[in-house]
Structure 1
Protein backbone atom coordinates (compact mmCIF):
# COMPACT_ATOMS: atom_id res chain seq x y z
CA UNK A 1 0.00 0.00 0.00
CA UNK A 2 1.06 3.57 -0.73
CA UNK A 3 -0.08 6.60 1.26
CA UNK A 4 0.44 10.15 0.00
CA UNK A 5 0.25 13.02 2.48
CA UNK A 6 -0.11 16.41 0.82
CA UNK A 7 1.02 19.17 3.16
CA UNK A 8 0.45 22.90 2.76
CA UNK A 9 -2.02 25.75 2.62
CA UNK A 10 -4.03 26.11 -0.59
CA UNK A 11 -4.85 29.71 0.34
CA UNK A 12 -1.17 30.66 0.08
CA UNK A 13 -0.49 30.20 -3.60
CA UNK A 14 2.18 27.63 -4.36
CA UNK A 15 2.12 26.36 -0.77
CA UNK A 16 -0.89 24.41 -2.03
CA UNK A 17 1.35 22.06 -4.04
CA UNK A 18 1.08 19.24 -1.49
CA UNK A 19 -2.72 19.39 -1.23
CA UNK A 20 -2.94 19.55 -5.05
CA UNK A 21 -0.87 16.36 -5.33
CA UNK A 22 -3.11 14.65 -2.76
CA UNK A 23 -6.22 15.69 -4.71
CA UNK A 24 -4.71 14.51 -7.99
CA UNK A 25 -3.73 11.12 -6.59
CA UNK A 26 -7.09 10.66 -4.85
CA UNK A 27 -8.91 11.44 -8.11
CA UNK A 28 -7.13 8.51 -9.77
CA UNK A 29 -9.03 6.09 -7.54
CA UNK A 30 -6.29 3.48 -7.76
CA UNK A 31 -6.49 0.42 -5.51
CA UNK A 32 -3.71 0.27 -2.94
CA UNK A 33 -3.07 4.02 -3.03
CA UNK A 34 -4.60 6.45 -0.55
CA UNK A 35 -4.03 10.21 -0.51
CA UNK A 36 -4.84 12.78 2.14
CA UNK A 37 -4.81 16.58 2.07
CA UNK A 38 -3.24 17.26 5.48
CA UNK A 39 -3.43 21.03 5.18
CA UNK A 40 -1.06 22.61 7.66
CA UNK A 41 -1.39 19.88 10.29
CA UNK A 42 0.10 16.63 8.94
CA UNK A 43 0.46 15.40 12.52
CA UNK A 44 -3.32 14.87 12.52
CA UNK A 45 -2.83 12.01 10.04
CA UNK A 46 -0.26 9.98 11.98
CA UNK A 47 -2.97 7.61 13.24
CA UNK A 48 -4.12 6.93 9.68
CA UNK A 49 -0.55 6.10 8.66
CA UNK A 50 0.11 3.92 11.71
CA UNK A 51 -3.12 1.94 11.24
CA UNK A 52 -2.44 1.34 7.54
CA UNK A 53 1.27 0.52 7.88
CA UNK A 54 2.00 1.42 4.24
CA UNK A 55 4.89 -0.01 2.29
CA UNK A 56 5.57 3.52 1.05
CA UNK A 57 4.66 6.86 2.61
CA UNK A 58 5.11 9.86 0.31
CA UNK A 59 4.99 13.29 1.95
CA UNK A 60 4.68 16.18 -0.53
CA UNK A 61 5.18 19.84 0.36
CA UNK A 62 6.30 23.10 -1.21
CA UNK A 63 10.00 23.51 -0.44
CA UNK A 64 12.45 26.34 -1.03
CA UNK A 65 15.34 24.48 -2.65
CA UNK A 66 16.90 27.27 -4.70
CA UNK A 67 15.70 25.70 -7.95
CA UNK A 68 13.53 26.95 -10.81
CA UNK A 69 9.83 27.22 -9.93
CA UNK A 70 8.02 23.91 -10.27
CA UNK A 71 11.14 21.76 -9.89
CA UNK A 72 10.45 18.51 -8.10
CA UNK A 73 13.00 16.74 -5.91
CA UNK A 74 13.14 13.93 -3.42
CA UNK A 75 14.57 15.44 -0.27
CA UNK A 76 16.85 13.07 1.64
CA UNK A 77 15.47 12.65 5.14
CA UNK A 78 18.68 13.95 6.68
CA UNK A 79 18.36 17.15 4.58
CA UNK A 80 14.77 18.10 5.39
CA UNK A 81 16.03 20.80 7.75
CA UNK A 82 18.21 22.22 4.93
CA UNK A 83 15.14 23.38 3.02
CA UNK A 84 12.67 26.08 3.93
CA UNK A 85 9.92 23.51 3.84
CA UNK A 86 6.44 24.01 5.10
CA UNK A 87 4.25 26.57 6.77
CA UNK A 88 2.72 23.95 9.01
CA UNK A 89 2.74 23.46 12.73
CA UNK A 90 5.03 20.45 13.15
CA UNK A 91 8.37 20.37 11.37
CA UNK A 92 8.45 17.57 8.80
CA UNK A 93 11.69 16.26 10.31
CA UNK A 94 9.78 15.53 13.54
CA UNK A 95 6.90 13.95 11.62
CA UNK A 96 9.25 11.69 9.68
CA UNK A 97 11.03 10.58 12.84
CA UNK A 98 7.70 9.88 14.54
CA UNK A 99 6.48 7.76 11.60
CA UNK A 100 9.79 6.01 10.88
CA UNK A 101 8.55 2.70 12.29
CA UNK A 102 5.07 2.98 10.74
CA UNK A 103 5.98 2.66 7.05
CA UNK A 104 8.33 0.48 5.04
CA UNK A 105 9.82 3.54 3.35
CA UNK A 106 9.25 7.27 3.72
CA UNK A 107 9.94 9.63 0.83
CA UNK A 108 9.68 13.41 1.15
CA UNK A 109 9.05 15.23 -2.14
CA UNK A 110 9.49 18.98 -2.45
CA UNK A 111 8.03 21.20 -5.16
CA UNK A 112 9.82 24.53 -5.62
CA UNK A 113 7.31 27.38 -5.14
CA UNK A 114 7.35 30.84 -6.69
CA UNK A 115 4.82 32.65 -4.51
CA UNK A 116 3.49 31.61 -1.13
CA UNK A 117 1.56 34.78 -0.36
CA UNK A 118 -2.11 35.30 0.32
CA UNK A 119 -3.63 34.13 -2.93
CA UNK A 120 -5.38 31.03 -4.15
CA UNK A 121 -4.16 28.91 -7.02
CA UNK A 122 -0.86 27.49 -8.14
CA UNK A 123 1.55 29.07 -10.57
CA UNK A 124 1.68 27.30 -13.94
CA UNK A 125 5.15 25.89 -13.25
CA UNK A 126 4.11 24.47 -9.87
CA UNK A 127 1.00 22.96 -11.48
CA UNK A 128 3.31 21.12 -13.91
CA UNK A 129 5.41 19.93 -10.95
CA UNK A 130 2.27 18.66 -9.23
CA UNK A 131 1.28 16.71 -12.34
CA UNK A 132 4.76 15.18 -12.47
CA UNK A 133 4.48 13.94 -8.88
CA UNK A 134 0.97 12.55 -9.50
CA UNK A 135 2.26 10.73 -12.60
CA UNK A 136 5.16 9.20 -10.64
CA UNK A 137 2.80 7.97 -7.91
CA UNK A 138 0.35 6.60 -10.52
CA UNK A 139 3.18 4.71 -12.23
CA UNK A 140 4.55 3.45 -8.90
CA UNK A 141 7.90 5.10 -9.51
CA UNK A 142 8.56 7.98 -7.11
CA UNK A 143 12.15 6.73 -7.14
CA UNK A 144 12.63 8.31 -10.54
CA UNK A 145 12.19 11.78 -9.04
CA UNK A 146 15.63 13.36 -8.88
CA UNK A 147 17.22 13.62 -5.45
CA UNK A 148 17.94 17.14 -4.23
CA UNK A 149 21.64 17.83 -4.67
Structure 2
Protein backbone atom coordinates (compact mmCIF):
# COMPACT_ATOMS: atom_id res chain seq x y z
CA UNK A 1 0.00 0.00 0.00
CA UNK A 2 1.40 3.37 -1.04
CA UNK A 3 0.63 6.78 0.40
CA UNK A 4 -2.38 8.17 -1.42
CA UNK A 5 -3.90 4.78 -2.22
CA UNK A 6 -7.61 5.07 -1.47
CA UNK A 7 -8.95 2.48 0.93
CA UNK A 8 -12.66 2.44 1.65
CA UNK A 9 -12.69 -0.05 4.52
CA UNK A 10 -9.80 -1.41 6.56
CA UNK A 11 -9.87 -4.02 9.30
CA UNK A 12 -7.00 -4.39 11.73
CA UNK A 13 -6.94 -7.76 13.51
CA UNK A 14 -5.03 -7.55 16.79
CA UNK A 15 -3.91 -10.43 18.96
CA UNK A 16 -1.45 -13.21 19.61
CA UNK A 17 -2.41 -16.49 17.91
CA UNK A 18 -0.11 -18.30 20.37
CA UNK A 19 -2.34 -17.13 23.23
CA UNK A 20 -5.37 -19.20 22.21
CA UNK A 21 -8.39 -16.84 22.12
CA UNK A 22 -6.13 -13.78 22.17
CA UNK A 23 -5.64 -14.48 18.45
CA UNK A 24 -9.30 -13.88 17.56
CA UNK A 25 -8.62 -10.51 15.91
CA UNK A 26 -6.01 -12.10 13.66
CA UNK A 27 -8.51 -14.88 12.83
CA UNK A 28 -11.14 -12.31 11.78
CA UNK A 29 -8.59 -10.40 9.67
CA UNK A 30 -7.58 -13.57 7.82
CA UNK A 31 -11.25 -14.40 7.22
CA UNK A 32 -11.92 -10.94 5.74
CA UNK A 33 -8.79 -10.99 3.61
CA UNK A 34 -9.89 -10.77 0.01
CA UNK A 35 -13.46 -9.73 0.86
CA UNK A 36 -14.71 -7.14 -1.66
CA UNK A 37 -14.16 -3.59 -0.49
CA UNK A 38 -11.99 -4.56 2.49
CA UNK A 39 -8.30 -4.32 3.24
CA UNK A 40 -7.79 -6.71 6.17
CA UNK A 41 -4.50 -6.72 8.03
CA UNK A 42 -3.55 -9.13 10.84
CA UNK A 43 -1.05 -7.11 12.88
CA UNK A 44 -0.46 -9.61 15.67
CA UNK A 45 -0.13 -8.45 19.27
CA UNK A 46 1.09 -4.92 18.51
CA UNK A 47 -1.56 -2.46 17.39
CA UNK A 48 1.22 0.05 16.80
CA UNK A 49 2.27 -2.08 13.80
CA UNK A 50 -0.84 -0.77 12.03
CA UNK A 51 -0.07 2.94 12.36
CA UNK A 52 1.88 3.32 9.12
CA UNK A 53 -0.59 1.22 7.14
CA UNK A 54 -3.56 3.25 8.35
CA UNK A 55 -1.73 6.54 7.70
CA UNK A 56 -0.97 5.48 4.12
CA UNK A 57 -4.41 4.04 3.43
CA UNK A 58 -6.48 6.81 5.07
CA UNK A 59 -9.57 4.55 5.13
CA UNK A 60 -13.09 5.90 5.26
CA UNK A 61 -13.89 3.17 7.80
CA UNK A 62 -11.37 1.51 10.12
CA UNK A 63 -12.49 -1.46 12.22
CA UNK A 64 -10.20 -2.79 14.95
CA UNK A 65 -10.98 -6.28 16.28
CA UNK A 66 -9.32 -7.66 19.41
CA UNK A 67 -10.05 -9.97 22.32
CA UNK A 68 -11.57 -7.94 25.16
CA UNK A 69 -12.55 -8.89 28.70
CA UNK A 70 -16.07 -7.46 28.86
CA UNK A 71 -17.65 -9.90 31.29
CA UNK A 72 -19.68 -11.55 28.51
CA UNK A 73 -20.02 -15.25 27.76
CA UNK A 74 -17.05 -16.46 25.66
CA UNK A 75 -17.50 -15.52 22.02
CA UNK A 76 -19.79 -12.60 22.75
CA UNK A 77 -18.87 -9.48 20.80
CA UNK A 78 -19.61 -5.80 21.27
CA UNK A 79 -18.64 -2.43 19.91
CA UNK A 80 -16.53 -0.55 22.42
CA UNK A 81 -16.33 3.15 23.09
CA UNK A 82 -12.95 4.83 22.99
CA UNK A 83 -13.38 5.61 26.67
CA UNK A 84 -13.92 2.00 27.75
CA UNK A 85 -11.54 0.27 25.31
CA UNK A 86 -8.21 0.94 27.09
CA UNK A 87 -9.30 -0.98 30.20
CA UNK A 88 -10.82 -3.91 28.26
CA UNK A 89 -8.38 -4.56 25.43
CA UNK A 90 -5.01 -6.20 25.96
CA UNK A 91 -2.22 -4.18 27.53
CA UNK A 92 0.71 -5.68 25.62
CA UNK A 93 1.19 -2.57 23.50
CA UNK A 94 4.48 -0.66 23.53
CA UNK A 95 2.61 2.67 23.44
CA UNK A 96 -0.33 3.56 25.70
CA UNK A 97 -3.53 2.24 24.12
CA UNK A 98 -5.47 5.49 24.43
CA UNK A 99 -2.62 7.30 22.64
CA UNK A 100 -2.58 4.68 19.84
CA UNK A 101 -6.35 4.87 19.41
CA UNK A 102 -6.12 8.65 19.17
CA UNK A 103 -3.55 8.40 16.37
CA UNK A 104 -5.67 5.87 14.50
CA UNK A 105 -8.79 8.02 14.88
CA UNK A 106 -6.92 10.88 13.24
CA UNK A 107 -6.10 8.76 10.18
CA UNK A 108 -9.59 7.46 9.34
CA UNK A 109 -12.97 9.11 8.90
CA UNK A 110 -14.74 6.58 11.12
CA UNK A 111 -13.22 4.10 13.57
CA UNK A 112 -15.08 1.20 15.16
CA UNK A 113 -13.65 -0.93 17.95
CA UNK A 114 -15.02 -4.45 18.28
CA UNK A 115 -14.14 -6.70 21.20
CA UNK A 116 -14.72 -10.45 21.36
CA UNK A 117 -14.88 -12.06 24.80
CA UNK A 118 -12.11 -14.69 25.18
CA UNK A 119 -12.41 -17.89 27.19
CA UNK A 120 -8.80 -19.11 27.24
CA UNK A 121 -5.74 -16.86 27.01
CA UNK A 122 -3.24 -19.55 27.96
CA UNK A 123 -0.26 -20.50 25.83
CA UNK A 124 -1.42 -22.59 22.91
CA UNK A 125 -2.76 -22.38 19.39
CA UNK A 126 -6.31 -22.31 18.11
CA UNK A 127 -9.46 -20.59 19.23
CA UNK A 128 -11.85 -22.26 21.66
CA UNK A 129 -15.10 -23.41 20.01
CA UNK A 130 -17.18 -20.64 21.64
CA UNK A 131 -14.84 -17.88 20.51
CA UNK A 132 -14.56 -19.29 16.98
CA UNK A 133 -18.38 -19.41 16.82
CA UNK A 134 -18.63 -15.78 17.95
CA UNK A 135 -16.01 -14.69 15.42
CA UNK A 136 -17.79 -16.62 12.67
CA UNK A 137 -21.03 -14.77 13.56
CA UNK A 138 -19.23 -11.41 13.47
CA UNK A 139 -17.48 -11.92 10.12
CA UNK A 140 -20.61 -11.74 7.89
CA UNK A 141 -21.75 -8.58 9.70
CA UNK A 142 -18.42 -6.99 8.87
CA UNK A 143 -18.47 -8.26 5.28
CA UNK A 144 -21.85 -6.58 4.79
CA UNK A 145 -20.71 -3.49 6.76
CA UNK A 146 -23.59 -3.92 9.21
CA UNK A 147 -21.93 -2.24 12.17
CA UNK A 148 -25.33 -1.19 13.50
CA UNK A 149 -26.08 -4.90 14.07
CA UNK A 150 -23.17 -5.14 16.53
CA UNK A 151 -24.46 -4.17 19.98
CA UNK A 152 -22.64 -1.56 22.05
CA UNK A 153 -21.25 -2.55 25.41
Match of 2:149 in 1: 144
Deviation of 1:122 (Å): 0.4
TM-score normalised by length of structure 2: 0.89
In 2: Cα distance, 1:87 partner to 1:10 partner: 16
- Do 1:61 and 1:109's aligned partners in 2 also have CA atoms closer than 8 Å? yes
Equivalent of residue 56 in structure 2, options 51, 61, 73:
51
User: What secondary structure sits across from 1:70 in the alignment?
Assistant: coil
Count of residues paired in the alignment: 145
TM-score normalised by length of structure 1: 0.92
Structure 2 unaligned regions, length at least 5? 1-7
CA RMSD in angstroms comes to 1.2
In 2: Cα distance, 1:9 partner to 1:91 partner: 18
- Do 1:136 and 1:142's aligned partners in 2 also have CA atoms closer than 8 Å? yes
Match of 1:25 in 2: 32
User: What secondary structure sits across from 1:61 in the alignment?
Assistant: strand
Match of 1:75 in 2: 80
In 2: Cα distance, 1:88 partner to 1:141 partner: 29
Q: CA separation of 1:134/1:92 partners in 2, compared to 1, >3 Å: closer, same or farther? A: farther
- Do 2:91 and 2:97's aligned partners in 1 also have CA atoms closer than 8 Å? no
User: What secondary structure sits across from 1:50 in the alignment?
Assistant: helix
